[in-house]
Amino acid sequence: MLKTLETLIGVSGSLSNIWIDSWKTKGHILGYFCTHVPEETIYAAGILPVRIRATGCRETSLADAFLSSFNCSFVRCTLEMALEKRYPFLDGIVSCNSCDHIRRGYDVWKQKVGTPFKHFLQVPRIINDEAIETFTHEITILKDSLEKHFKIDISEEKLWEAIRIYNDVRGLLKELYNIRKEKSPKINGTEFISVVTASTAVPKHQLKLLLNQLLNELVDREGYSNYRARLLVMGSLLDDPHYIEMIENMGGLVVADALCFGTRYFWDPVKESGDPIHNLAERYLKKVPCARMIGEHDTRLQYVLNTIKEFDVEGVVFQRMKFCDFWGGECFMFRRELRERGIPFLELEREYVLSGVEAAKTRIQAFLESIEARRL
């Protein structure tokens, strides 16, 4: 395996890593819960933003004392690990109203977990000029809160510097993603999701170097050609590369996605002129829209249809975390709309912790066979 890719896969498989450990010796680290949280604001403060994950979670007995069994297992797992003090590197968290499950999880975290800094960001659910102005105000409040708690100054110059490095990283991730358009792509879906997941836990200055190294290493790599079908995976939060690996081990090649640990994380840059906070608000609201955004279903559908055409996708796997309200509704609509267009569609319900593997494999196998039969 390529050296840089192996490094990033290792990062994706653990909560901490060498860069987090190194940063902790000299600075602060904040966890955040959603791709709508403007990381640049935190990074400009000289603080490392790390996406909250629950890698390694096995059960949720502590969290279940505070959350309903109808709360999604991602939120229960993250709260479980927080209660178990499995995030010792965190100096604070930034959460938002991404969904009711995460909102409730934050309420418990705030009361029961001794994280020094806690901030809740109100993210609008619609996209218009008024919403952008509202979110600009919310980001300003976050900036002021960071300055007050950590006794620092987040200057406009520091914001622009953070925006530029984040845009550079987005460009490199997009370049890596576009390699998968090739008939025999040099990186598969498991590896790519591992890279994006790792990207949420590595300082962006170091990450930029790693991504450049990876792109250089891929030049002479042999592509993946032994696959049964080219697939797009979409739906709920998915930060476990093993789930994609399960699909690819069955012969499907995941060449595209519509995931928050995928294209929704890096697809759209921030404008580099004007007011930096307003530009952040605009980008984080207007990026490839999550199912939480009201009135944006047609935009999501068109994005998926464009991707299917551009990446020569033969089938869509819609993985939906159990009790995920937003993506449950989206699944109902996508199932009908894609099948009406003759696009093979597979819905898989899952928990945050990988389980029910054999049943999922059976359904994936049948799905791949149906795609192959269409070619006859």
Burial 287-301 (b: 16+ CB within 10 A, else e): bbbbbbbeebbeebb
Q: What is the pLDDT of residue 219?
A: 96
CATH class of 17-154: alpha beta
Q: What is the pLDDT of residue 109?
A: 96
Does the structure show a pLDDT above 90 at 264?
Answer: yes
Give the DSSP per-residue string, 250-263: TTEEEEEEE-TTTH
The SS3 of residue 81 is helix
Give the DSSP per-residue string, 337-373: HHHHTT--EEEEEE-SS---HHHHHHHHHHHHHHHHH
Query: What whole-number percentage of the chain has pLDDT above 90?
Result: 97
Does the structure show a pLDDT above 90 at 310?
Answer: yes
Cβ atoms of 350 and 238 within 8 Å: the answer is no
The SS3 of residue 54 is coil
Does the structure show a pLDDT above 90 at 311?
Answer: yes
pLDDT, mean of residues 294-311: 97
Q: What is the pLDDT of residue 75?
A: 97
pLDDT, mean of residues 235-255: 97
Q: Give the integer Cα–Cα distance in Å for 329 and 108.
A: 27
Q: Give the integer Cα–Cα distance in Å for 171 and 142.
A: 26
pLDDT, mean of residues 76-90: 97
Task: Work out the number of other CB atoms within 10 angstroms of the CB of residue 7.
Answer: 17
Q: What is the pLDDT of residue 356?
A: 85
pLDDT band at 59 (very low <50, low <70, confident <90, very high): very high
Q: How distant, in Å, are the alpha carbons of 53, 209, 243, 250, 365 from that of 361?
A: 25, 37, 11, 7, 6
Cβ atoms of 304 and 288 within 8 Å: the answer is no
Q: What is the pLDDT of residue 114?
A: 85
The residue extents of the domains of the chain are 17-154
Summarize pLDDT for 109-127 with one digit per residue, the tens: 999 998 999 999 999 999 9
Q: Give the integer Cα–Cα distance in Å for 68 and 65.
A: 8
Q: What is the pLDDT of residue 89?
A: 97
Q: What is the pLDDT of residue 1?
A: 80
Does the structure show a pLDDT above 90 at 375?
Answer: no
